[in-house]
Structure 1
Amino acid sequence: MKREQWGSRTGFILAAVGSAVGLGNIWRFPYMAYENGGGAFFIPYLFAMLTAGIPFMILEFTLGHKFRAGAPKTLGTLNSKFEWLGWFQVMISAIIAFYYVVVIAWAISFVYFAFNQSWGEDSNAFFFGEFLGLGDDSAPSNLGSLQWNLLLPLCLAWAATYFATFRGVKGGIEKVNKVLMPLLFAMVLLLIGRIAFLPGALEGIDWLLKPDFSKIWDLKVWSAAYGQIFFTLSVGFAIMLSYASYLPKKSDINNNAFMTVLMNCGFSILAGIMIFGALGYMANVQDKELTEVVSSGVGLAFVTLPTAINLLPAPGVMGPLFFLALMFAGVSSHISIAEAVTTGLMDKLGWSRPKTATVFCSVGFVVSLLFITQGGLLLLDLVDYFINNIALLGSCLLELLLVGWLCRLQDFRAYANQISEFSVGNWWTVCIKFVSIAMLIVILFNNIKTAFLEGYGGYASAEVTYIGWGMITLMLIVAIIVNVSSKQESKI
């Protein structure tokens, strides 16, 4: 069966950027920069982008384009003993898809709430209590009842992903991203243009950009910069391999990779300016220091910023715009995550795209119900920590070791250079074989050591063991079983 193709280069780049630009750009990057030296953080961040982000993106675009397959088939072609790693990456994508969609459902709800600021004066009590129903006895192992108010937005979020994956690369994913990405950038620029003129906003932006060069010599800052690059670019968990497998034969791999990474990192900086402008205004109105109002993650998006929106002029316009931007960033990423799973299953089972998309999205919807229970946020938090900080970084490290040390890396460089407008030199090989691997070993070792010795988030040790470590162990076992069964099938 002839493989699908992107309709245009613009469509592919917007889809790749849509995958990379996600909720982490909006709620994780600004806080990371603020906490790790402000403007000085951009030095290790840009260095990480050049030595890890762009080289890794070129590698995944090259592998996907050359082997015309998703992660399992591509990595299995490179080395039959490593097909399991491809399935491990597909499972990472599947699990992220199951819980990431819930955050999109929250954003959809908050678009509606933002028109008249339904969260009231105490956005913290509203979000955790009234909206999520989080109780004193809630825990990852004690989920409680379903929050029915989240069922409709969850259906809408899955429907958007189902439409795009069902319709295919050109008719669904490309068309959706050609609308979502320009709208997302336009909304963020519009919000920046309004927020920047509010009293205190420039002081907030100054807090973000003011360099603290003493932090440059701190290894933790460099580790944070590399960690952010690996988190944000959608590499190492089957997405970019799948997307690149649908590129036409004549595709400029090096240029596409540079543009994707630069647009993603540029959006992160824009998001930081938008967030810190709003926080600066909020601190000014409340006569507080910015350090008293700044936060990260879910708390920033659904507690701190609703409080800031209450104080903004025309909150009924600014609020919905912000949560629409959050929703669009989430939907574009979720589509790519689902596509990574869909491509892997289609390659393996030979199913049609409509059948594969229907089965995966149906199963995904049922599993995601776990995360809209009273304890769903806590389960989401625990699963997300182990998937992102251990499974994903471990997957990135193993992929780089496989390609960098067990394959002829110069052959892939020659392949990419042959079909690209400009060539990459030895720096690319050095970055893949040494720089990226070294940084991943440092970050992953620290994460594993911390999780073993300290647990995570104050959760019970049994929950960390059975849900966190147990999930990763089960993923490895399933991936290896599928790999072994594939070998036996090929012998028959």
Structure 2
Amino acid sequence: METRSQWGTRAGFILAAAGSAIGLGNIWRFPATAFENGGGAFMVPYLIALLTAGIPILIMEFTMGHRYRGSAPLTYKRMNKKSEWIGWWGVLVAFVISTYYSVIIAWAIMYSIFSFNLNWGSDTEGFLFGSYLETAAPGEFGGFVPGVLIPLIIVWLLVLGILYRGVKKGIEMANRIFIPLLVLVFLVIVIRAITLPGAVEGLNAFFTPDFSALADGQVWVAAYGQIFFSLSIAFAIMITYSSYLPKKSDITNNAFIVGFGNSSFELLCGIGVFSVLGFMAVQQGVGVNEVVAGGVGLAFVVFPQIINELPALNELFGFLFFISLVLAGLSSLISIIETYVAGLSDKFNISRQKAVIFGGGFAALVSLVFATRGGLNFLDAADYFINQFGVAFVGLVEVVLIAWVLRKLGELKEHANEISDIRLGGWWTFSLGVITPIVLGYTMYDLFRTNLMRLFETETGNYANYPDAFILYGGWFVAGGALVVGIIMALFKWRNASAASENETQNTGEAK
């Protein structure tokens, strides 16, 4: 069997893992989520969620990848031959995400260019949905948008070029550039933001605690959800990355560094975002709560409005903000694509370069759907359903399988303790065996109940008031398709017979 690639240094792995975790959601999801769920008080359930779900799952996935030395499908197969489909399910979820995530990076590239002349004008919402994206009705394609298609091609050429070069010369080297540059750029943004008139009002709104919110179960669910989605866990990434670690690697320390590093950047994002939201609120003479937004609206509608109103250096501030989105997006996209590059290479015994061309090339073709005039609607539906019924559902199945069915927590804990400075104890097994399954189980129950109840209720009773048919094939079929195709992939015979047949005992010896 071909020698598995390895990270050049421990720092290279940590930067790559942190680069995967630190993505667009840190910048546009966390600040609004925290504000809407108790402000400063949200940090209490957030920290508890980090310590009882985020870092424990990170440790578990790091240990799985390191012990079984394979992509997610190969890792699950080596753990138990009947569980390979879960690895492919996670890989297919990653595949879907990569197809539209790349398009958002393309938007950010164009907006960084628009920043030079503030091309979005005064009506930033009208510019995004009309002049730029030329949004068509749900379910319609309407032809390509050149301003999306061209930067999208650039994104794919850049990312696939990096992946083609391999783990050490490609992924590690790219993250050594992207992550320090991202932190530096965002620090400049934050320093500028906190000096704006009204920044104090924004920060007060962000940090002022509403402790009554802690009695609301949905606030705790939101905290666990934020941690879960933010850390890139449960859809094959961290298993794949940790499989490239050297035999002697400190698993638990690495997990704590990545986990707290990601949360620190989220907090930095919250400070920057709410400083500029406070400025905007003061300029418009309204409360901060009236200008808070999240997601695409925050990044491509609200922020351009704020940039328009800055007293000086508008163009520079806008360029830095959108370049930070590009850097955060690229580091995450690289890790997402690596999951199916590694999976294809392991399963079909093909070179990394061929896996990049076939897997990445196919994803690039699929992403063209989101570069059309109807692409925004397809993106919105796919993102909602693949995240809610893909990532979270895979995580629930993963934890239940490992903790309850296969009962592997003891063996994984022993493996991690033998090579790590921070030893795992009852906290880790209780978190994964009890807390995480309960929280994720309740979250999935609530999501299924809510979405299934409104499916076909009325023509506009679905998510974002989309038509029933569009939600069915643009949302439910996408999420369900990831599972179905994952099962089908597991049915194919392994071309790499030595990898597939290698038993657990042999792997344990190799990993140690």
Once the two structures are superposed, residues 319-347 of structure 1 have per-residue CA deviations (whole angstroms, 9 ceiling, x without a partner) of 10000111100000000000011011111
1:208 matched residue in structure 2: 206
The one-letter amino acid paired with 2:307 is I
Q: Which runs of 5+ in 2 are unaligned?
A: 455-461, 502-512
Once the two structures are superposed, residues 341-386 of structure 1 have per-residue CA deviations (whole angstroms, 9 ceiling, x without a partner) of 1011111011111111112222122111100111101100101111
The one-letter amino acid paired with 2:467 is A
1:283 matched residue in structure 2: 281
Q: Do structure 1's residue 483 and structure 2's residue 490 form an aligned pair?
A: yes
Deviation of 1:225 (Å): 0.3
1:400 matched residue in structure 2: 399
The one-letter amino acid paired with 2:402 is V
2:506 matched residue in structure 1: none
Deviation of 1:77 (Å): 1.5
State how far apart, in whole Å, the 1-side matches of 2:268 and 2:408 are.
Answer: 39
2:73 matched residue in structure 1: 72
Q: Do structure 1's residue 467 and structure 2's residue 474 form an aligned pair?
A: yes
Deviation of 1:110 (Å): 0.5
Deviation of 1:156 (Å): 1.4
State how far apart, in whole Å, the 2-side matches of 1:326 and 1:209 are.
Answer: 24
Q: Is contact 1:134–1:374 with CA below 8 Å preserved after alignment?
A: yes
State how far apart, in whole Å, the 1-side matches of 2:432 and 2:377 are.
Answer: 36
Q: Is contact 1:56–1:235 with CA below 8 Å preserved after alignment?
A: yes
The one-letter amino acid paired with 2:232 is S
Structure 1 SS opposite 2:464: coil
1:369 matched residue in structure 2: 368
Q: Is contact 1:102–1:372 with CA below 8 Å preserved after alignment?
A: yes
Deviation of 1:146 (Å): 0.9
2:390 matched residue in structure 1: 391
State how far apart, in whole Å, the 2-side matches of 1:84 and 1:316 are.
Answer: 49
Structure 2 SS opposite 1:486: coil
1:25 matched residue in structure 2: 26
Q: Is contact 1:160–1:331 with CA below 8 Å preserved after alignment?
A: no
Deviation of 1:458 (Å): 0.7
State how far apart, in whole Å, the 2-side matches of 1:477 and 1:441 are.
Answer: 21
Structure 1 SS opposite 2:465: coil
1:427 matched residue in structure 2: 427
Once the two structures are superposed, residues 227-249 of structure 1 have per-residue CA deviations (whole angstroms, 9 ceiling, x without a partner) of 11111111110100000000001
Deviation of 1:487 (Å): 8.1
Structure 2 vs 1, CA of residues 209 and 125 (structure 1 numbering), >3 Å: closer, same or farther? same
2:414 matched residue in structure 1: 414
State how far apart, in whole Å, the 1-side matches of 2:4 and 2:20 are.
Answer: 21
Deviation of 1:486 (Å): 3.1
Map residues 81-230 of structure 1 onto 2, 5 A cutoff: 81-135=82-136, 138-139=137-138, 141-230=139-228
1:347 matched residue in structure 2: 346
Structure 2 vs 1, CA of residues 488 and 365 (structure 1 numbering), >3 Å: closer, same or farther? closer
Deviates more, 1:419-428 or 1:472-481: 472-481
Deviation of 1:488 (Å): 11
Q: Is contact 1:78–1:407 with CA below 8 Å preserved after alignment?
A: no
Q: How many residues of Structure 1 are paired with residues of Structure 2 in the alignment?
A: 489
Deviates more, 1:401-410 or 1:4-13: 401-410
The normalised TM-score by structure 2 is 0.93
1:49 matched residue in structure 2: 50
1:35 matched residue in structure 2: 36
Q: Which runs of 5+ in 1 are unaligned?
A: none
The one-letter amino acid paired with 1:473 is G
2:237 matched residue in structure 1: 239
Deviates more, 1:183-192 or 1:206-215: 183-192
Q: Is contact 2:349–2:496 with CA below 8 Å preserved after alignment?
A: no
Structure 1 SS opposite 2:293: coil
State how far apart, in whole Å, the 2-side matches of 1:94 and 1:301 are.
Answer: 24
State how far apart, in whole Å, the 1-side matches of 2:314 and 2:494 are.
Answer: 59
1:265 matched residue in structure 2: 263
Q: Is contact 1:71–1:242 with CA below 8 Å preserved after alignment?
A: yes
Structure 2 SS opposite 1:75: helix
State how far apart, in whole Å, the 1-side matches of 2:242 and 2:470 are.
Answer: 38
2:510 matched residue in structure 1: none
Q: Is contact 1:104–1:327 with CA below 8 Å preserved after alignment?
A: yes
Task: Give every structure 1 segment of 4 or more consecutive aligned residues whose post-TM-superposition deviation is greater than 4 Å.
Answer: 487-492
State how far apart, in whole Å, the 1-side matches of 2:234 and 2:275 are.
Answer: 33
Q: Percent identity between the aligned chains?
A: 45
State how far apart, in whole Å, the 2-side matches of 1:483 and 1:28 are.
Answer: 34
State how far apart, in whole Å, the 2-side matches of 1:95 and 1:360 are.
Answer: 12
State how far apart, in whole Å, the 2-side matches of 1:150 and 1:68 are.
Answer: 38
Deviates more, 1:482-491 or 1:92-101: 482-491
Map residues 308-387 of structure 1 onto 2, 5 A cutoff: 308-312=306-310, 313-387=312-386
What's the C-alpha RMSD, in Å, of the aligned pairs?
1.5
The normalised TM-score by structure 1 is 0.97
Q: Is contact 2:349–2:495 with CA below 8 Å preserved after alignment?
A: no
The one-letter amino acid paired with 1:385 is Y
1:456 matched residue in structure 2: 463
The one-letter amino acid paired with 1:432 is L
Deviation of 1:489 (Å): 10
The one-letter amino acid paired with 1:373 is T
Structure 1 SS opposite 2:463: coil
Q: Do structure 1's residue 2 and structure 2's residue 9 form an aligned pair?
A: no
Once the two structures are superposed, residues 285-333 of structure 1 have per-residue CA deviations (whole angstroms, 9 ceiling, x without a partner) of 1222112211111000000000001111211111100001111000000
State how far apart, in whole Å, the 2-side matches of 1:287 and 1:401 are.
Answer: 51
2:504 matched residue in structure 1: none
